[in-house]
């Protein structure tokens, strides 16, 4: 438990630090680099997690049985359906939505 708290606090403080550094940069390339590092810190932990949270396994179940679920949010349904039809593992659903949410946060 304590290790999870330390990890998430490190990610929060680390990404905040890199965003701060990006704001202090004069050159656009340096700014983009620091923003990219901050983005990766949040995205990778979010995308590569397994069985974190109370609804993780529910999302995996929805993905694996997408044909049984037709009464849900349109975007969520079609993204999962596309990934499922590409025969990708359920982890790709987590990766895709982590990417979407992290891009929205950093945009």
pLDDT, residue 46, reads: 93
Confidence of residue 69 (pLDDT cuts 50, 70, 90): confident
With 0-12 / 13-18 / 19 or more C-beta atoms within 10 angstroms meaning exposed / middle / buried, residue 38 is buried
Burial class (CB in 10 A: 0-12, 13-18, 19+), 94: buried
pTM comes to: 0.86
């Amino acid at each position: 438990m304590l290790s999870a708290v330390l990890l998430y606090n490190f990610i929060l403080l680390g990404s905040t630090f890199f965003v701060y550094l990006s704001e202090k940069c004069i050159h656009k390339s340096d700014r983009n680099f620091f923003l990219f590092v901050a983005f990766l810190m949040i995205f990778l932990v979010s995308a590569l997690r397994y069985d974190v949270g109370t609804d993780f396994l529910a999302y995996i179940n929805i993905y694996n049985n997408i044909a049984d679920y037709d009464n849900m949010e349109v975007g969520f349904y079609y993204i999962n359906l596309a990934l499922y039809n590409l025969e990708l593992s359920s982890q790709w659903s987590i990766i895709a939505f982590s990417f979407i949410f992290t891009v929205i946060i950093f945009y």
